[in-house]
Amino acid sequence: MKKPLWWIKLTNFEYWSFWFFYLPTVPYGLYLALRSGSLAYFTSVNPAVPLSGLQGQPKQNILKLLDEKYLPKSLYFKNDTAFETVKSEVEKKEIDFPFIIKPEIGERGKGVEKMDSFEELKEYLQDYFQQNKSDFIIQEFLKEPVELGVLYYRLPNSLISKVKDVSRIKNFRSSAITSIVQKEFLSVTGDGGKTLAQLIEDSDRARFQKKRLKKEFAEEWSITIPKNKKIVLEHIGNHCRGTKFLDGNSLITEENRAAFDEIMKPLKNYYYGRFDIKVSSIEDFKQGKGIKIMEVNGVASEPAHIYDPKTPILKAYKDIFKHMKIIQVISKQNKKDGTPFASFAEVMGIVKAEFKKTFL
């Protein structure tokens, strides 16, 4: 008997709302704020971007500072750019299909789509211009098969001896990769007897996406899928779109930490964030090779490995608290060097806006 979706949501914290899941972290956050002297202490972590990338961080502001060898081909467009102009620039840049289009300022995968033709692009832009005021980016679809989210930090002052309470953070270093999430794209595998619709119905994770998938796979919906044929239902590595997050912390090595030390060199005043990357193989990544960066996120970055279905909830909170402490350590160093905290009113403005989007 299949479990109802409401029961799966209730018993698996990976499906809980952000507001509910993070509620137990509030007391510790208030404690860190008290120790720091500001409820907005975390806003000094990445002085290079507004509010340290808490919300609405323009993607290109950071990506354009990185060495091109780490980046896919990309194009940036103003919101009102005509379709013919976009088409012309894509052809000039020699960005082949499929490619990714996404808002310049976005969150949780909203508005991110894979385009397979200019017809699809034209339809997408017609809807986008009506619903979205953000500029947008077209980015080469990377063919590398392994997608990871890598959470990395470095200290503004690399002398660990300058850091108080360092004993409270296990394996604390002047720079480190503290979380790796390996992304398993939503897919089903045929058995030679069931239709795509039936295979999706048999997958708890796919059932959450059924309404959207029925529209996207309308032509294949009632077709029987051959035995052992794998159908990838979602190519965007976002948890909200069905991607399974797996704990990849065993992949952390001295070599890939050193690689991110090198990647971060051009990023002045940026000390904490998650890199969404693709690599050709796990072995290459362990050696710090073949890294391609799709996106960089700021202080709001989660240690996303915690959403592995096998992670106990108490272990998840322990890892969150560890990262909250790292953020506070970095913010205090930057504050001493003259970076001010944002006002509490600025932060509350964002919190209220996000709350309204979720519940009102």
pLDDT in tens, 248-292: 999 999 999 999 999 999 998 999 999 999 999 999 999 999 999
Whether 289 and 342 map to the same domain: the answer is: yes
The CA-CA-CA angle for residues 157, 274, 344, to 5°, reads 70
Whether 109 and 150 map to the same domain: the answer is: no
Residue 108 maps to a domain? yes
Whether 196 and 342 map to the same domain: the answer is: no
Whether 257 and 313 map to the same domain: the answer is: yes
Residue 167 pLDDT > 60:
no
Residue 355 maps to a domain? yes
Predicted confidence at residue 128, as pLDDT, reads 82
Residue of 139, 126, 138 whose CA lies nearest to 80? 126
Number of domains in the chain: 3
Rounded mean pLDDT of the chain? Answer: 90
pLDDT in tens, 46-56: 999 888 988 76
Decide which of 343 and 285 is more confident: 285
DSSP string, 270-317: --EEEEEEEES-HHHHHTT-S-EEEEEE-TT---GGGGSTTS-HHHHH
Domain boundary among 124, 140, 156: 140
Predicted confidence at residue 169, as pLDDT, reads 72
- The SS3 assignment for 149 reads strand
Predicted confidence at residue 106, as pLDDT, reads 65
Looking at residue 157, the DSSP 8-state letter turns out to be S
Task: Print the domain residue range for 100.
Answer: 73-140
Residue 3 maps to a domain? no
Residue 161 pLDDT > 60:
no
Strand segments, DSSP code E, in 104-155 are 113-115, 136-140, 146-154
Predicted confidence at residue 237, as pLDDT, reads 85
CATH number for the domain that contains residue 117 = 3.30.1490.20
Whether 200 and 262 map to the same domain: the answer is: no
Q: Identify the band that residue 166 occupies on the pLDDT scale cut at 50, 70 and 90.
A: low
Residue 122 maps to a domain? yes
- The mean-pLDDT minimum among 230-234, 347-351, 353-357 falls in 353-357
Whether 261 and 164 map to the same domain: the answer is: yes
Residue 104 pLDDT > 60:
yes
- The mean-pLDDT minimum among 86-95, 114-123, 223-232, 344-353 falls in 344-353
Predicted confidence at residue 240, as pLDDT, reads 87
- The SS3 assignment for 177 reads strand
Domain boundary among 197, 232, 267: 232
Residue 326 pLDDT > 90:
yes
Predicted confidence at residue 107, as pLDDT, reads 62
First-to-final CA distance of the chain: 35
Predicted confidence at residue 80, as pLDDT, reads 85
Residue 159 pLDDT > 70:
no
Residue 103 maps to a domain? yes
Whether 48 and 89 map to the same domain: the answer is: no
Whether 178 and 277 map to the same domain: the answer is: yes
Predicted confidence at residue 358, as pLDDT, reads 64
The pTM (predicted TM-score) of the whole model is 0.91
Decide which of 33 and 110 is more confident: 33
Residue 163 maps to a domain? yes
Whether 171 and 309 map to the same domain: the answer is: yes
Residue 171 pLDDT > 90:
no
Residue 99 pLDDT > 80:
yes
Decide which of 63 and 21 is more confident: 21
pLDDT in tens, 183-241: 999 999 999 999 999 999 999 999 999 999 999 999 999 999 999 999 999 988 888 88
Whether 172 and 191 map to the same domain: the answer is: no
Residue 108 pLDDT > 70:
no
Residue 315 pLDDT > 90:
yes
Residue 15 maps to a domain? no
Whether 178 and 308 map to the same domain: the answer is: yes
Whether 211 and 348 map to the same domain: the answer is: no
Please enumerate in sequence order all residues whose Cβ is within 8 A of that of 270, keeping only pairs 6 or more positions apart, or say none.
46, 47, 48, 49, 62, 264, 298
Residue 255 maps to a domain? yes
